[in-house]
Amino acid sequence: MNPVEQSLQYFENNKERMTDAYIDVLKIPSVSTSPEHAADMQKTAEFLADYLRKISVEHVEIFKTPLHPILFAEKKSSNPDAKTLLIYGHYDVQPEDPLDEWQSAPFDPTFRGDYLYARGASDMKGQVMASIFALESALTSGDLPINVKFILEGEEEIGSPSLEPFIKEHKELLACDMILNPDAGMVAKDKPTIVYGLRGLAYFEVRVDGPRVDLHSGLWGGNVANPANVLAQIIAKLHNEDGSVAIPGFYDNVRVLSPEERERIASCNSDDEKMLEITGAPQLYGEAGYTTLERQGARPTLDVNGFYSGFIGDGAKTIIPAYAKAKISCRLVPDMDPMGIYELARDYILSIAPPTVKTKVFLHSAGPAYLADDAPGAENLANALTAIWDQPITYKREGGSIPVATVMQRELGVKSILTGFGLPDDAIHSPNEHLHYPNWLKGIQALIHFYLSFGEN
Indicate the residue among 45 and 206 with the shorter CB distance to Mn ion: 45
Q: Which of 126, 197, 403, 443 binds ligand BES (CB under 6 A)?
A: 403
Residue 40 vs 155, nearer CB to Mn ion: 155
Contacts of 255 (CB under 8 A, 6+ apart): 333, 334, 335
156/164 with CB nearer ligand BES: 156
The set of residues, in sequence order, having a beta carbon less than 8 Å from that of 307 and lying 6+ positions away, is: 231, 235, 324, 325, 326, 327
- Angstrom distance (rounded) from CA 449 to CA 456: 14
C-beta closer to ligand BES: residue 40 or 157: 157
Task: Report what 433 binds from ligand BES, Mn ion, none; CB cut-off 5-8 Å by kind.
Answer: none
Q: Which stretch binds ligand BES (CB under 6 A): 138-146, 248-256, 396-404, 440-448?
A: 396-404
In the complex, which residue's CB is closest to ligand BES? 400
Q: Could you say which residues in the range 112-141 bind Mn ion, by CB under 5 A?
A: 123-124
Nearer to ligand BES, 4 or 28 (CB): 28
| CB of 157 vs ligand BES, minimal distance in Å | 5
Query: Shortest distance, CB of residue 456 to ligand BES, whole angstroms?
Result: 33
Provide φ and ψ at 48, rounded to 5°. -65, -40
Nearest residue (CB) to ligand BES, 184 versus 378: 184
For residue 392, the SS3 value is coil
Within positions 187 to 246, which residues make up the interface with ligand BES, using CB under 6 A? 198, 201
> In this chain, which stretch among 164-172, 181-189, 372-380, 442-450 interacts with Mn ion, using CB under 5 A?
181-189
Phi first, then psi: give them for residue 125, nearest 5 degrees. Answer: -60, -35
Residue 3 contacts by C-beta under 8 Å, 6 or more apart in sequence? 138, 141, 142, 452, 455
Percentage helix, strand, coil for the chain under 3-state DSSP, each rounded to 5: 35, 25, 40
Q: Scanning residues 79 to 98, which ones bind ligand BES (CB under 6 A)?
A: none
Smallest gap from residue 156 Cβ to ligand BES (A) = 5
Where b means 16+ CB within 10 Å and e means fewer, 136-171 reads: bbbbbbeebbbbbbbbbbbbbbbbbbbbbebbeebe
Determine, following the binding rule CB under 6 A, whether residue 184 of this chain makes contact with ligand BES: yes
Omega prior to 98 cis, within 30 of 0 = yes
| Contacting range for ligand BES; rule: CB under 6 A; set: 10-18, 378-386, 395-403, 436-444 | 395-403
Residue 171 in contact with residue 149, Cβ under 8 Å? no
Q: With CB under 6 A as the rule, give the number of residues binding ligand BES.
A: 17
**Minimum distance from residue 58 beta carbon to ligand BES (Å):** 29
Smaller CB separation from ligand BES, 25 or 184: 184
Q: Are 200 and 331 in contact (CB under 8 A)?
A: yes
- One-character DSSP codes across 318-374: -EE-SEEEEEEEEEE-TT--HHHHHHHHHHHHHHHS-TTSEEEEEEEEEE--EE-S-
Secondary structure class of 153 (helix, strand, coil) = strand
Distance CA 109, CA 121 (A): 8
Rounded-to-integer distance, Cα 353 and Cα 345, Å: 12
The interface partner of residue 185, options being ligand BES, Mn ion, none and the CB cut-off 5 to 8 Å by kind, is ligand BES
Closest approach, Cβ 402 to ligand BES, in A, equals: 5
State the Cα–Cα distance between residues 417 and 451, nearest whole angstrom: 13
- Identify what 145 binds: Mn ion, ligand BES, none; CB under 5 to 8 Å per kind: none
Footprint of ligand BES on 112-141 (CB under 6 A): 123-124
Select 136 or 183, whichever has its Cβ closest to Mn ion. 183
- Rank residues 206 and 427 by Cβ distance to Mn ion and give the closer one: 427
The binder of ligand BES chosen from 120, 185, 321, 377 (CB under 6 A):
185
CB-based contacts of 301, cutoff 8 Å, min separation 6: 245, 286, 287, 295, 330, 331
Which of ligand BES, Mn ion, none does 201 bind, CB closer than 5 to 8 A by kind? ligand BES
For Mn ion, the binding residues (CB under 5 A) are 123-124, 183
For ligand BES, the binding residues (CB under 6 A) are 123-124, 156-157, 159, 183-185, 198, 201, 365, 367, 398, 400-403
